[in-house]
Amino acid sequence: MVELPNIYSGKHVRFYVLVPLILLLVGMYFWLFSGRMVLDSSLSGGISVIIQSNTTLSSQEIAYRTAAALHSPQPSIQRSPGGLEITINGNDSLVNAQSKSLEFFAFQSNYTAALVNATALSGALALDSTNQTLVAQLNTAKAIENRSLAMMTSSLAAELQYLQPFIGSRQVPGDPRAQLALAQSAYTNASNIYTKNVVSTLHSIIPFTTYSYQDIGPTLGRYFLGQLFWVIAIAFVLISIAVLFIFRSVVPAFTVVFGALNDIIIALGAMAILGIPLGIASIGGLLMIIGYSIDTDVLASYRILKMHGGTPEERAYSSMKTGLTMTMTAVVSFSVLFVVSIFTYVPTYYEVAGVALAGLIGDIFTTWLGNTPLTLLYKRRKERL
């Protein structure tokens, strides 16, 4: 068996950190600035259609044809005995229109409250016309009423602009009640038109007799995504506190957080390059990466800082061999899952395995060329003091 050289015995250990930093910048570019990161239907919304069909077309072929016909990202397809469940990403115009619709109803609620308040104040002022406090309150209520109406009109106009490909051009009425009626019907009509188009397109690709469909709203998914980012942030804080308590030093806590964050950003960049959408499945892969990253980072830090026997460089080298064995075992497992998911076209497996693979490969560079050299340099400095 070929013995790997001890890369930590030289004098240029500090320069190893450049490798994970470069990977960090590349990952950030593709994730944030390349415009290639997309959300899947679990976060962006869409339509889930369940059809009964005995088609001989492969899931991959169905996905390709559907994406080409609808000019959308490839759908997620799950097979069951005698049927298919096809989940198609939300139409961008409908997603944006729904956001404006929510804005409209928020302003409409403010308008209604201000109108009721102004009506009550007008009645009170009729009984006490010299009361200047009531006059000031009435003016404030009317100002809120007018401002809310203006915002209603603006939001509804934007919504109708997004819905124009489905329902044609519509003018925003000046009457608030007419605006409310139009807002309640416009999005529903456009959504129904889009759904019929999707169903007819699928029928031209896969003949079927019965089907059912369900709209998937993006609001809950985006709320979940926002909450998840908060959970991850809190997890990083708790991890830092735990590592700080164990090692009694800021440096190990920093390297652990840096490692996990760097692995996630590398994985996000790889997702943008490979076209893996950000969704519930891929988020699960990102959470697994945090666990793997912390495992290898703590392993290296503990052996270098806490264990005795041999030099710090030898302990770092020993931890690298152990960590690489652990990581490569996981890489092989997820590689098999990734290959199987490509041939069987199971999107959930593809997303989880692809994200995990990217994160694990990134973790090799981050941990053994970033975190470990930083911890080793800290140990050397500490021993010189």
Q: Please check the confidence at residue 25 and state whether its pLDDT lies above 90.
A: yes
pLDDT category at 385 given cuts 50, 70, 90 is low
Structure token digits, residue 192: 């129904």
Mean pLDDT for the chain?
A: 87
Contact (Cβ atoms closer than 8 angstroms) between residue 31 and residue 37? yes
Strand order in the sheet with 46-52: 76-80, 83-89, 46-52, 211-216
Residue type (1 letter), 347: P
Residue type (1 letter), 27: G
pLDDT tens-digit map of 265-306: 999 999 999 888 888 788 888 888 988 898 899 889 889 988
Rounded to an integer, the average pLDDT of 238-261 is 85
Alpha-carbon distance 137 to 141, whole Å? 6
Alpha-carbon distance 176 to 147, whole Å? 13
The pLDDT value recorded for residue 237 is: 83
Q: Among the listed ranges 133-147, 154-168, 266-280, which one has the minimum average pLDDT value?
A: 266-280
Distances (CA, A) of 65 to 40, 51, 54, 58, 74: 18, 16, 17, 11, 9
Domains of the chain (ranges; CATH) run: 13-40+218-384 (1.20.1640.10), 46-216 (no CATH)
Query: For residue 30, what is the DSSP state?
Result: I
Alpha-carbon distance 325 to 328, whole Å? 5
Rounded to an integer, the average pLDDT of 204-224 is 75
Rounded to an integer, the average pLDDT of 75-85 is 73
pLDDT category at 221 given cuts 50, 70, 90 is low
Helices 176-205 and 132-167, packing angle to 10 deg = 20
Query: For residue 4, what is the DSSP state?
Result: P
Closest residue by Cα to residue 15 from 278, 254, 370: 370
The pLDDT value recorded for residue 1 is: 45
Rounded to an integer, the average pLDDT of 169-174 is 92
pTM of the model: 0.72
Alpha-carbon distance 56 to 309, whole Å? 64
